[in-house]
């Protein structure tokens, strides 16, 4: 489904990704771990199409076509979803209006009829319950005044509404209490299916107790330096990153 080859990317002249390669097949769940500043969010932003990041080398194919040539909205319409590490607050645009516009943009792309307001409200209410968000959140501005945990649940709610083929979750587990972690994990597990793939970025192996990955990768200085199965996460938790030859702080990059 997703094939990343030798990806190099920079931001403001600073090289962040240095030849990253990764293959993800339909039905798989991958986890990426790695120290602060190693480039995890950069990878997710580059995949989603953030133009602040410049791809200097390498290629990314999604379902066999060149992903990097496509506009951000087209990537999303074709099924790529990024749950942001830091969801943006947009006062003045209601969550309802935002989600409705987004769902219809994807439906339109797939040649499906758009949902009218009543149909959408029904769907949105049901989905908000699935992530334990009160439907009154739909009336508020996008993420406006949401707590950290509410923002993360809102991201998962969007994933559930949009039913992506590839969901990239950038630290969706950070800042969640134990109940919220359960809710978010249930949401992600509900997305798991044979024709979908999930790429989770996380610092904590506890998430992986709820969402069991098929593969775990360690990112350091913009490259995947080790890959393994579920047990790699446990080992990282016990031993830190030092045994892999990385210091635990980002100072090493230079």
Partner 1 sequence: MKSVPMLSSAFLAPAGQSLPQPLLELRQQRGTALVDMPLPTRKTENWKYSSRYLQLTDAIAASLPVSDRIDTPLAKVPGYQVVIRNGVMVPSASTLPAVEGVTISRFADLSDEVASSLAERLDNTLDANAVQLARLNTARFEDGLYIRLAPEAVLDQPLFIIYETDASQSGSAYPRLYVEAGHHSQATIVEEFLSTGSEAALVNAVSEFTLADSAQITNVRLSADGESVQHIGATGARLQGHARFESHCVGFGGPLRRHDLQVRLEKPGAECLLNGAVVTQGRQHYDNHTTIEHIAPHCNSEENYRNIAAGQSHAIFRGRIHIHRDAQKSNGHMNNKNLLLSSGAEIDTKPELEIYADDVKCAHGATIGQLDEESLFYLVARGIPRREAQTLLTMAFINELIQQIPVAAVRDASLPRLNQFIDQTFEEA
Ligand X SMILES: Nc1ncnc2c1ncn2[C@@H]1O[C@H](COP(=O)(O)OP(=O)(O)OP(=O)(O)O)[C@@H](O)[C@H]1O
91 is an interface residue for partner 1 by CB under 8 A: yes
| Helix, coil or strand: residue 97 | helix
Q: Print the binding letters for residues 93-132 with partner 1: x by CB under 8 A, - otherwise.
A: x---xx--xx--xx--x-----------------------
Out of Mg ion, ligand X, partner 1, none, what residue 14 binds, judged by CB under 5 to 8 A for its kind, is: ligand X
Residues 6+ apart with CB under 8 A from 71: 49
The site that binds ligand X (CB under 6 A) totals a number of residues, namely: 14
Could you say whether residue 36 binds ligand X (CB under 6 A)? yes
Cβ–Cβ contacts within 10 Å for residue 100, how many?
Answer: 22
Q: Kindly give the residue spans of alpha helices, DSSP state H, lying in the chain.
A: 40-48, 72-77, 95-109, 117-130, 148-162, 178-191, 207-210, 230-239
User: Which one of the spans 4-12, 25-33, 66-74, 169-177 is the region binding partner 1 (CB under 8 A)?
Assistant: 66-74
CB crowding 35-59: b at 16 or more within 10 Å, else e:
bebbbbbbbbbbbbbeeebeeeebe
- Residues lying near partner 1 in the complex (CB under 8 A) are found at 48-52, 71-73, 75-77, 82, 84, 87-88, 90-93, 97-98, 101-102, 105-106, 109, 141-142, 158, 162
In the complex, which residues of this chain contact ligand X (CB under 6 A)? Answer: 11-12, 14, 16, 34, 36-42, 52, 85
């Amino acid at each position: 489904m997703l094939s990343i080859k030798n990806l190099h990317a920079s931001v403001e002249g600073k090289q962040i990704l240095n030849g990253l390669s990764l293959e993800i097949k339909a039905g798989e769940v991958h986890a990426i771990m790695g120290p602060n500043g190693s480039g995890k969010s950069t990878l997710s932003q580059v995949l989603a199409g953030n133009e602040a990041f410049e791809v200097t080398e390498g290629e990314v194919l999604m379902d066999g076509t060149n992903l990097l040539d496509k506009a951000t909205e087209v990537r999303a319409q074709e099924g790529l979803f990024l749950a942001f590490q830091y969801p943006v607050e947009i006062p003045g645009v209601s969550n309802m209006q935002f989600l409705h516009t987004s769902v219809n943009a994807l439906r339109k792309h797939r040649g499906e009829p758009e949902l009218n307001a009543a149909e959408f409200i029904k769907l949105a209410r049901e989905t908000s319950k699935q992530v334990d968000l009160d439907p009154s959140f739909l009336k508020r501005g996008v993420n406006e005044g949401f707590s950290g945990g509410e923002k993360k649940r809102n991201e998962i709610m969007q994933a559930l509404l949009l039913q992506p083929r590839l969901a990239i979750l950038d630290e969706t587990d950070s800042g969640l209490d134990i109940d919220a972690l359960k809710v978010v994990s249930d949401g992600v597990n509900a997305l798991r299916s044979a024709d979908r793939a999930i790429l989770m970025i996380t610092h904590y192996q506890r998430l992986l107790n709820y969402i069991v990955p098929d593969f775990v990768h360690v990112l350091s200085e913009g490259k995947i330096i080790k890959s393994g199965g579920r047990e790699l996460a446990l080992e990282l938790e016990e031993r830190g990153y030092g045994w892999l030859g990385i210091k635990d702080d980002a100072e090493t990059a230079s």
